[in-house]
Amino acid sequence: MQPENRNIEHEPSDQAQFANSITTAEKINDLVLNIILTDLQPFSIISDCGFQKLVNELEPSYVLPSRPTFSKSLIPAKYDEKCEKLKKLLETAEHIMLSTDGWTSMNMEGYKAVTAHFITKD
């Protein structure tokens, strides 16, 4: 039996596969985070058997981060990212109009809202 000829240049290295798996994990983390934030899902969705099975079927090598990882690391990082993006966008506005509103819930909890309206050159 002859040894198999392999072209090493075209085979992904272990390091490249590792980098690709990190990228895949980061993408999936971002997608799961998007589900939580966009659809207002509770962090407990991470622990739901059906959700875990879905994720495992889609990407068996992916390991879901823990609920504390989402709440103490991923969400604050996403918040900081969005704040920076908003600050840069507001820097381009010539005029900003602010409106406020306040109300009290049936439980006597007070709420205040501030809304900013602006038009950019784009």
Backbone angles phi, psi at 77, to 5 degrees: -65, -40
The pLDDT, as a whole number, for residue 56 is 93
Tell whether the model's pLDDT for residue 8 goes beyond 90: no
| Selected residue with higher pLDDT from 13 and 48 | 48
Which of 79, 48, 78 has its CA nearest to residue 64? 48
**19-28, 51-60, 64-73, 89-98 — which is least confidently predicted?**
19-28
Amino acid at the residue 1: M
Predicted confidence band of residue 39 (pLDDT cuts 50, 70, 90): very high
Tell whether the model's pLDDT for residue 117 goes beyond 70: yes
Tell whether the model's pLDDT for residue 79 goes beyond 50: yes
Rounded to two decimals, the pTM is 0.65
Average pLDDT over residues 18-27: 71
- For 35-100, the DSSP string reads HHHHTT--GGGGG-HHHHHHHHHH-TT--PPPHHHIIIIIHHHHHHHHHHHHHHHHHT-S-EEEEE
Tell whether the model's pLDDT for residue 92 goes beyond 60: yes
Average pLDDT over residues 55-84: 93
Half-sphere exposure of 65 (CA within 13 A, CB side): 20
